[in-house]
Amino acid sequence: MVVEERFRRVNNRDYGIVVGIDQYPGLGSLEGAQRDAESFANWLVDPNGGGLPAGNVRKILTRQFHPPPPTCTAQANPNAHRFYSEVGDLLMDSAGNLRSFPIGRRLYLYFSGHGFLGSSNWEEAALYAANASRALPEHIPGTREADAVKASAAFDEIVLVMDCCRDVTLTGRISESHLCLPPDVTRGAAVRTCYAYAVRRGYQAQERQIEGDLQGVFTHVLLEALRRTPGDGEGRVTGQAVKDYIHNRWSDMVPDDGSTGPLIVVDSANDVVLAVRPPGPPAQAGAMPEQPLTQVIFSVEPPVTDSGIIVVMDGQLREIKRLSIRNSSASCALVPGIYKATIEGTSRQKLFQAMGGDVHEQL
């Protein structure tokens, strides 16, 4: 979708640090983590996405250090120091003094690789560094680093994404933040946050073949949500709207998932606006749309009885249409947006997008 010029944003006061680690000699290597990190970094600099200048995004990836895979933990990079070097360059001037806060509007922190929760009782996660082993588990305490930046009010908003496992172990312990930043109690409390974890407590993040590549399922669905979630009446795509999209989409992507899906913690009182785009469908069902209608044709395979009903819901899971199935099909007209269709009384459901023209969906 091409976004109209009036909805484009150049967010030159936004910054991002993106970490993707594939090679772990001491823990076992991954295949998709670095690719996921690069995909997220690409969204950050996309004018129709995050809208950040390329110079505001700092990437820390395995390929920057290891054309051949590392053979021992001592030589493996990136280590935790690489992350702190990038944070230091962002927060400090050339003389090593802290810059004036706030430095910018928003800081994105993205981590992909092996991770853990340890014995923590908090809703948090840590990313293992490339040189980690079971005996020497060097790591970046992602949530605690984000919390430290928040407490200092170095930025007005923090968006944390951790596409990594959150294994619970009795021996693993997440370290405290390495950032020694002066807290600002009043302004820190007003910082807006959106923390997104690939899995809930005790579960492992998943990689799957998607569109020909091995990808992290969470990053794939997150980026899909960031690109497709309709804007509200003012074109704003909030953290809550993205959370709803991911929740609705998850069972389609991971039908055999034994957990309840990702954990996304949004600030309900001061939600983060993650994107700005043309408004989606009207908030009230039945309102006359200004956008061209999409004709959606549902085919039901395998067939159900002709007395079956297809329930169509909008992106907020509000029922807007009930369609009778006739000859294993049904149809309706919808304004552009994200919808969910289910066959009443069954587990058959599908999330789909209406963008004009005709759309054919199988249930």
Sorted by sequence, the CB contacts under 8 Å of residue 309 that are 6+ apart come out as: 322, 323, 324, 325, 343, 344, 345
Please list the pLDDT of the chain residue by residue as tens digits (363 residues).
Answer: 344 444 456 789 999 999 999 999 999 989 889 999 999 999 999 988 999 999 999 999 999 987 777 888 988 999 999 999 999 999 999 888 999 999 999 999 999 999 999 888 889 999 999 999 988 999 999 999 999 999 999 999 999 999 999 988 766 789 999 998 999 999 999 999 999 999 999 889 988 888 778 889 999 999 999 998 888 777 888 999 899 888 888 877 877 766 668 999 998 788 999 988 766 543 333 333 344 567 788 888 888 766 688 898 887 777 788 888 888 888 887 777 788 899 988 888 888 887 666 788 888
Note the pTM of the prediction, 2 decimals. 0.77
Q: Of 345, 358, 212, whose CA–CA distance to 299 is shortest?
A: 358
Q: pLDDT tens digits, residue range 122-173?
A: 899 999 999 999 889 999 999 999 999 999 999 999 999 999 999 887 667 8
Cα angle 218, 221, 222 (rounded to 5 degrees) comes to 80
